[in-house]
Amino acid sequence: MKCPYCGYLESKVIDTRPTEDGTSVRRRRECMECTKRYTTYEKVETLPILVIKKDNSREPFDKEKIISGLVRATQKRPVSMQQMQNISDDIERSISNRMMTEIPSDDIGNMVMERLKSVDEVAYVRFASVYRQFKDINTFFEEIKALMEKDMDPL
């Protein structure tokens, strides 16, 4: 680390603490040449994630869009905001762990449905109806029938 005062390249770390939000580490350093102290911050480098829309356009990943869709799907259902936040965080973590810089919106929608199915089946069907663009009552029925068969299927 280069000293901001004299430019010397060696320093020693005197104190290390996480920042209040926990996203970076604050380090107090002392220059080995001029003995002046200074602070540096270290944080994980993240790759920007782009979502590939159905029309092949791209836009930055926005976790708030997932939460917005979950809020609509879970309206008047016993699903807490914390559960929705957990689903959203889990999806964001899953995407980041793939180390991909682009992800199709279909993949994100499927991740939401997969997680929502285990939280609230009514909310799952609501989300699926919009996401999969159900055209008629038969499509609804088929989705509900598949859910019921899964619930009745012994492991």
Is residue 135 pLDDT above 80, yes or no?
A: no
Give me the mean pLDDT over the 107-131 stretch: 89
Question: Which class for 49: exposed (0-12), middle (13-18), buried (19 or more C-beta within 10 A)?
Answer: middle
Give me the mean pLDDT over the 137-145 stretch: 79
User: Which range, of 77-81, 126-130, 131-135, 138-142, averages the lowest pLDDT?
Assistant: 131-135
The CA-CA-CA angle for residues 26, 29, 35, to 5°, reads 160
Q: Are 3 and 34 in contact (CB under 8 A)?
A: yes
CB atoms within 10 A of CB 123: 23
Using one digit for the tens of pLDDT, what is the confidence trace for 71-105?
999 999 999 999 999 999 999 889 888 888 899 99
- How many residues are given for the chain? 155
138 Cα distance to chain centroid: 33
Separation between Cα atoms, residue 54 and residue 133, nearest integer Å: 13
pLDDT at 119: 93
Q: Are 124 and 150 in contact (CB under 8 A)?
A: no
Using one digit for the tens of pLDDT, what is the confidence trace for 29-88?
999 999 999 999 998 777 789 999 989 999 999 999 999 999 999 999 999 999 999 999
